[in-house]
Amino acid sequence: MIELVWLIPLFPAIGFLFNGLIARWFNLDKRIVGWVACSALGLSFLFSILIFFSLVQLAPEARVAVPDRILFDWIVSGDLKTVIGYKVDPLSIIMALVVSGVSFFIHIYSVGYMHDDSGYTRYFAYLNLFVFMMLTLVLANNFLLMFVGWEGVGLCSYLLIGFWFERDTPANAGKKAFVVNRVGDFGFLLAIFLIFVHLGTLEFNGVFAGAHSLDAVTVTIITLLLFVGATGKSAQIPLYVWLPDAMEGPTPVSSLIHAATMVTSGVYMIARCNILYSMAPVSMAVVAIVGAATAIYAASMGLLQFDIKRVLAYSTISQLGYMFLAVGVGAFSAGIFHLMTHAFFKGLLFLGAGSVMHAMSGELDMRKMGGIWKRAPITFWTFFVATLAIAGIPGFSGFFSKDEILWQAFDSTHGHVLLWLVGAAAAGMTAFYMFRLLFVTFFGRCRASEEVKKHIHESPPIMTIPLIILATLSLIGGYVGIPHVLGGRNFFHEFLHPVFGGHPEGAGHAAFSLVKPAFASGGAGMGGGDSKELLLMGVSVAIAVIGISIALYLYIWKTEIPKRLGERFKTLYTVVFNKYYVDELYEASFVNSTKRLGTFLWHRFDDGVIDRGVNLVADVMLWLGGVLRRIQTGRVQGYATGIILGAVIIILFLIR
């Protein structure tokens, strides 16, 4: 069964080809397109589940030793040999499950959401292509194939953000996303080059086996460059600017690409390279600091936005910061855990936002909403579940994952109290702005126009069923990772342990109190680790509750206060509201100078040198022709002289 892993990315690829070529050529009916796209994903998901169960049946040590499934040699040139191969181990199969599963539900949702759009076929073709690329990324067994998937998802992101390219804003947003991603990809590429130069191979097995031969500086540089790639793809400081603009795309796209899957590739990549990162504590620290900083920075911007999708976008950036914080302190499985739960609740939040927009006839501004919880109940309740999850309320999935991250930030050998503090503050802000979103959108007096008010309705079942499924997952998805301290057995962590536990520092983290059997935890050098953890857990829950209460106060009870606060702290408000003017800063510094460089090169080099060079060649030919034609004198005796000259020369060679 495991050797059929190559089918998982294949089905969406076939779906893409079918929808992109055949369906568009023959203008097939929308139902066929929808069925093909969704069943491709369904088959992918099915196979992921089957392979997951095959993997589970192996012993834990054997799970990481499954031989890579190699399809064929891709590049064989000199010293470089790369293959098209897929790796099946706990990490990749979990990613495959998350990607194919969430994509499957979002595909079903899109059938309803995009029903009236003229680009229906194109949409599903691109969406299938995206899933194909993403699955290639997570299942690849070497850096180069992973990079192919990496670039591929960037491409699909561009195509889907700029889906309504006839309008300027989406087109520009797509370009921005692609270019910013490219900057990050450059770092990734440099890292790949370095890896190849030093280790001679690009396959994961080979690289990680030989990693110990690298010196500290090289490993640090490689990991930092890889992290640059991750910041681009996963929207961390300083390359996060594309994600808020990416909300111009269709909402299911935002849900799939910019919440659940593509933006998590950076986290996956760092988790996959955990051996390299464990050898470079400096890089880990950088990752953790950037992650924490991004978490709180993005959360601050989410406090004041009133476009639903913008709030969710900043929330995504913030939660990605948490994931990077987790891998930065060495808690790789915690990062992946949060990746999974985040995919559930954030994906759900975006789909819910889409449902709200559907109900409010395309309105996005929360100030023009309100009081719709009764008229769109399924949307409301699923949104509520997701909000509880993201806020970290106990019992919901987000609680378990976020809490594990905060605990590791505090307690692990790579962690620091400050990191925990920043994370906790950001958690509070998250709870606050998410509930602000919930309250303003669903509660209170309805501030919409009369026209819109009349049409408020629940979405059709094809859209609400995925909402319900994702809500269920947001609720129970966390129970695979109940920390030991609460009496559970962290299945998730156990499952991923072989992948992350194979190195000294990793062993230190992985062998944390969470996995040890109950009786060995006492006094094993952790000294009161359990009680500390419970304490911190309580603190984070308290912070969340405080945040919710403040939101309740400001947006349900005394709704005139926010405006007055805004007046009093006008400058601060303006700065934060305008996203700290970062976009303008980038434009002035990078964008304009690049444009000027480009224009300069165009005029001086492209026109001046290259065009002139080509013209020069033509002119030389013309001149040469003008000179040579004088040989044609028309006088026969001149030609005879030439013949005799030729004869002289030839005989010269013959009699030597």
Please list the helix, strand and coil fractions of the chain in percent, rounded to the nearest 5, in that order. 75, 5, 20
At a CB cut-off of 8 Å and minimum separation 6, what does 543 contact? 424, 425, 427, 428, 431
Q: Is 496 exposed, middle or buried (0-12, 13-18, 19+ CB in 10 A)?
A: buried
Amino acid letter for position 27: N
Binding pattern for the stretch 571-610 against other proteins, x by CB under 8 A and - elsewhere: ----------------------------------------
By CB under 8 A, is residue 624 in contact with other proteins?
no
Copy the structure tokens of residue 367: 């100030």
CB nearer to other proteins: give 461 or 638. Answer: 638
461 is a site residue for other proteins (CB under 8 A) = no
* CB closer to other proteins out of 574 and 641: 641
User: Which of 606-613's residues contact partners 24+ apart within 8 Å by CB, and which partners?
Assistant: none
Q: Which of 31, 374, 568, 630 binds other proteins (CB under 8 A)?
A: 630
Nearer to other proteins, 620 or 644 (CB): 644
Residue 115: HSE in the Cβ half-sphere, 13 Å Cα cutoff: 11
**Residues with Cβ within 8 Å of residue 484, at least 6 apart in sequence:** 490, 513, 514, 515, 516, 518, 521
- By CB under 8 A, residue 654 contacts other proteins: yes
The C-alpha atoms of residue 23 and residue 40 are separated, in whole angstroms, by 15
Report if residue 118 touches other proteins, rule: CB under 8 A: no
**Does 640 participate in binding other proteins (rule CB under 8 A)?**
yes
Among 31, 374, 563, 629, binds other proteins (CB under 8 A): 629
CA proximity to 490, closest of 385, 414, 403 = 403
- Span near other proteins by CB under 8 A; candidates 12-20, 123-131, 538-546, 627-635: 627-635
CB of residue 625 vs other proteins: minimum separation in angstroms?
10
Which parts of 215-254 interact with other proteins (CB under 8 A)?
none
Decide if residue 656 touches other proteins (CB under 8 A). Answer: no
Establish if 445 lies at the interface with other proteins (CB under 8 A).
Answer: no
- List the one residue from 65, 217, 476, 651 that touches other proteins (CB under 8 A): 651
How big is the CA angle at 520 (ends 518 and 525), to the nearest 5 degrees?
A: 125
User: Cβ closer to other proteins: 62 or 649?
Assistant: 649
Q: Which two tokens stand for residue 656?
A: 């030597």
Site for other proteins in 476-535 (CB under 8 A): none
Please report where in the chains the tokens 């005139």 appear, as a residue. Answer: 560
Q: Which two tokens stand for residue 283?
A: 């890089």
- State which of residues 27, 77, 213, 633 lies at the interface with other proteins (CB under 8 A): 633
Smallest distance, other proteins to C-beta of residue 602, A: 41
Select 374 or 629, whichever has its Cβ closest to other proteins: 629
Cβ proximity to other proteins: between 445 and 630 the closer is 630
* Residues near other proteins (CB under 8 A), total: 19
- Please give the structure tokens belonging to residue 258: 């910019």
- Shortest Å distance, C-beta 647 to other proteins: 6
Measured from the CB atom, the residue of 546 and 649 that comes closer to other proteins is 649
Q: Which of 468, 481, 302 is nearest to 407 (CA)?
A: 481
Q: Does 638 bind other proteins (CB under 8 A)?
A: yes
133: nearest Cα among 115, 159, 164, 113: 159
DSSP category for residue 399: H
DSSP 67: P
CA distance 314 to 379: 21
Q: Which stretch binds other proteins (CB under 8 A): 146-154, 165-173, 216-224, 640-648?
A: 640-648
Q: Which stretch binds other proteins (CB under 8 A): 44-52, 366-374, 388-396, 625-633?
A: 625-633
If you ran DSSP here, which 8-state letter would residue 273 be given? T
632 binds other proteins (CB under 8 A): yes
* 417 touching other proteins, by CB under 8 A: no
Minimum CB distance to other proteins smaller for 520 or for 636: 636
Residue with tokens 């191979």: 201
Instruction: Give yes or no for residue 645 binding other proteins (CB under 8 A).
Output: yes
Work out the angle at residue 49's Cα, subtended by the Cα atoms of residues 44 and 51, and round it to the nearest 5 degrees.
95
**H or E segment to which residue 601 belongs:** none
Identify whether 461 is preceded by a cis peptide bond (ω within 30 of 0).
Answer: no
Question: Shortest gap between Cβ of 630 and other proteins (angstroms)?
Answer: 6
For other proteins, which stretch binds (CB under 8 A), given 213-221, 344-352, 393-401, 630-638?
Answer: 630-638
Confirm or reject binding of residue 622 to other proteins (CB under 8 A): no
In the complex with other proteins, the residue whose CB is nearer, 118 or 637, is: 637
Which of the ranges 304-312, 319-327, 486-494, 645-653 carries the binding residues for other proteins, by CB under 8 A? 645-653
If one asks whether residue 634 binds other proteins (CB under 8 A), the answer comes out as: yes
> Residue 50 to residues 8, 47, 161, 339: CA-CA distances in angstroms?
11, 5, 33, 22
Q: Which phi and psi (to 5°) does residue 147 adopt? A: -65, -35
**Chain residues in the site for other proteins (CB under 8 A):** 629-630, 632-638, 640-641, 644-645, 647-648, 651-652, 654-655
